């Protein structure tokens, strides 16, 4: 990720960060993962890799 300072100008309804950023992909196959880990061993029990299509809400949890 690249981060840089930007002049702050308030715009209603927009993010008010004072910085700009570019997220660089680290994988060609996925953008992140949701993992379940065994708390006793620290080992990954299962993993869901979010695809790299740009969708961010790819997991629905049924309560």
Write out pLDDT tens, residues 5-17: 988 888 888 888 8
Full domain range(s) for residue 7: 2-51
- DSSP-derived letter for residue 39 is T
Look at residue 20 and tell me if it is in a domain: yes
Classify residue 33: in a domain, yes or no: yes
pLDDT at 60 over 90: no
Helix (H, G, I), strand (E, B) or coil at 26: coil
Residue 60 lies in a domain: no
Q: Is 47 inside a domain boundary?
A: yes
pTM over 0.85: no
Per DSSP, the three-state class of 4 is strand
Q: Does any domain span residue 11?
A: yes
Tokens of 12: 């209603």
- The average pLDDT across 29-58 equals 79
Note the pLDDT tens digit of each residue in 45-56: 998 877 665 555
Q: Which residues, listed in sequence order, are joined to residue 37 by a DSSP beta bridge?
A: 44
Does residue 56 belong to any structural domain of this protein? no
Q: Please check whether residue 37 is in contact with residue 44, taking contact to mean a CB–CB distance below 8 angstroms.
A: yes
Number of domains making up the chain:
1
Q: How far is CA 57 from the centre of its chain?
A: 10
């Amino acid at each position: 990720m690249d981060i840089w300072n930007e002049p702050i100008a308030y715009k209603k309804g927009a993010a008010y960060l004072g910085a700009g950023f570019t997220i660089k992909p680290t994988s060609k196959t996925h953008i992140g993962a949701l993992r379940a880990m065994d708390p006793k061993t620290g080992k990954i029990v299962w993993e869901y890799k979010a695809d790299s299509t740009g969708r961010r809400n790819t997991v629905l949890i049924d309560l």
